[in-house]
Amino acid sequence: METSFPDGLAKRHGNARSRSGGTLRLLPLAGLAAIAAVGLSGLLGGGGPTTVETSSGATKLSVETPHILRSGEYFQRRIEVVAGVPTTDLSIAVGKDLLNGFTVNSTVPEPESQSFEHGSYVLSFGAVDAGQRIVLQSQLQTNPNKFGRAAGEIVVRDGDTELARLPLSIMVLP
């Protein structure tokens, strides 16, 4: 008994290997798998945050933030300071390039005062005891027109005395 095919189709249409060798049919699937692998690797943004830290004397400064972001992405930046000595006016200065082009949705805890001095946004926390820990957590979003490298420094001060300094660089991809 002979198999009948719908109009316009013949037995030769069912044998795809005879036309493409079978390998060409796998190329789109391999291309899609490669795109997915690169996306999941975090090389194009969306990877987890990394922590950088420094110690100067007894004062410790650490910053946890993603280093590769995508335009429009929401992210969290966590700045932690452990005062090594008693301070009368502890402040955290964030370089303007680390905030320009980003929308700050929230920052906790609220500092006693905020100002802009010498190219940095300064958050002042007042007197802090030795060993006291301040954790500043900010929710931010990359503005859609932000693209390229954002680099600057985060500096911890007691009044005019610098206690710790940490350079930070973030790449924003489209």
pLDDT tens-digit readout, 117-157: 999 999 999 999 999 999 999 999 999 888 899 999 999 99
Clarify whether residues 124 and 75 are in a common domain: yes
Two tokens at 34? 């490669």
- Quickly tell me which residue has 């940490």 as its tokens: 166
The pLDDT assigned to 28 comes to: 84
For residue 4, being part of any structural domain is answered with no
Residues 34 and 108 both lie in one domain: no
Look at residue 154 and tell me if it is in a domain. Answer: yes
CA of residue 95 relative to chain centroid, distance: 16
Separation of alpha carbons 122 and 126, rounded Å: 12
pLDDT of residue 169: 94
**Do 36 and 63 share a structural domain?**
no
> Does the pLDDT value for residue 18 go beyond 80?
no
Residue 100 located in a structural domain? yes
pLDDT tens column, 26-76: 888 888 888 888 877 766 666 678 899 998 877 999 999 999 988 889 999
Residues 174 and 147 sit within 8 Å (Cβ to Cβ): yes
- Write down the pTM of the prediction: 0.75
The answer to whether residues 31 and 56 belong to one domain is: no
Going by their DSSP bridges, the two strands 59-65 and 113-117 should be labelled as: unpaired
Cβ neighbours of residue 144 closer than 8 Å, sequence gap 6 or more: 71, 72
Domain with 116, as residue range(s), is: 50-173
Q: How many domains does the chain have?
A: 2
Q: CB atoms < 10 A from the CB of 85, how many?
A: 14
Closest CA to 117 of 88, 167, 155, 69: 155
Same domain, 35 and 80: no
Inform me whether the pLDDT recorded for 17 exceeds 70: no
Residue position matching structure tokens 């490298």: 149
Asked, for residue 75, whether it belongs to a domain, the answer is yes
Considering the domain boundaries, does residue 92 fall inside one? yes
**Domain shared by 36 and 66, yes or no:** no
Please compute the mean of the pLDDT values over residues 86-107 and round it to a whole number.
Answer: 94
20 and 56 part of one domain: no
Q: Which residues pair with 140 in a beta bridge?
A: 75, 104
| 58 and 32 together in one domain | no
